[in-house]
Amino acid sequence: MKRWVAYCSVLLLSASAQLSAEMERAVEVSFIQPEKFTDFRAANGGRNDGRNRLMSEIERFIRERADLWLPEGYSMTMVFNDIDLAGRIVPLPLRASAGGASMGGFGSAGEQRIVESPWPPRLNFDYQVFDDNGALAREGSADISTTQFLRLSPRARQQRRDGLWYEKAVIDSWMRELSE
C-alpha cells in the first residue's frame, strides 16, 4: 500500500510539473529598454531592483490573467515599449520625509505617489495571440489608457499594498476585451 501511495505521489508531482511547465510557455512577457520607460526611472529612485520588481509583478499578473481570459491551448506574447504608472511621484514635505519611507512602494525616500484621475496609467506594447495549433490568431500594437481607471478598480483604495493595482485593472480590462 505504501509503495502504491508513493508511486501515485510521484506520478502526480510529475504531471503537476509538466502542467506547470506548459503554463509557463503559454505567455511570454518582455520589456524593451525598461530603463527608459516613463515611470520606471522614478520607481524606487530609478534603481534596478525597483524596476525589476515592477516588471516581475506585471509579468506575474499577466500570466495569471491569461489563464482566465485566453481560450485553452492559446498562447500570447507581449512586448512592452513603455509604461507610465498611474499618478505622479512628488516630493514629501521635509517633515514628512524624515522617516525615510515612500508611499505605495514607489519613489525614493522622501517621495510619494499621488494617484488621481488626471494621471491615468498608460501601457504601450505589441502583442501576438496564437491559437491551439500555434497559428497566429491576432496581433497588434496597443496603447491602453483610460481616465476611468479609478472606476475600473473600485477596490484599489483598499489595495494600497499593491502598488500596481491601477495598472493591473487596465491590463485586465484590455485582456477581457481581447478575449471577446
Of 58-62, 97-101, 118-122, 147-151, the least confident? 97-101
Examine the pLDDT at 93 and tell me if it is beyond 80: no
Q: 39 versus 6: which is more confidently predicted?
A: 39
Residue 27 host element (H or E)? strand 27-31
Pairing between β-strand 27-31 and β-strand 111-114 as defined by DSSP bridges? unpaired
What are the extents of the domains in the chain? 27-179
Mean pLDDT, range 154-174, rounded to an integer: 74
Mean pLDDT, range 113-133, rounded to an integer: 89
* DSSP states along 48-92: HHHHHHHHHHHHHHHHHHHHHHSPTT-EEEEEEEEEE-SSEEEEP
Q: 105 versus 84: which is more confidently predicted?
A: 84
Range of 7-11, 140-144, 147-151, 153-157 with top mean pLDDT: 140-144
In this prediction, residue 107 has a pLDDT band, given cuts at 50, 70 and 90, of low
Mean pLDDT, range 89-98, rounded to an integer: 64
When the pLDDT of each residue in the chain is averaged and rounded to a whole number, the result is 76
Mean pLDDT, range 49-53, rounded to an integer: 80
Mean pLDDT, range 63-89, rounded to an integer: 92
| Burial class, 175, CB count within 10 angstroms (exposed 0-12 / middle 13-18 / buried 19+) | buried
Tell me the per-residue pLDDT of 13-42, one tens digit each, with 9 for 90 and over. Answer: 444 444 444 444 589 999 999 988 887 655
Model pLDDT, residue 142: 96
Helices 48-69/2-26 angle, 10° precision: 100
Please state, in angstroms and rounded to a whole number, the distance separating the CA atoms of residues 157 and 55: 22
* DSSP states along 93-148: PTTGGGG-PPBTT-SSTTEEEE--TTS--EEEEEEEEE-TTS-EEEEEEEEEE-TT
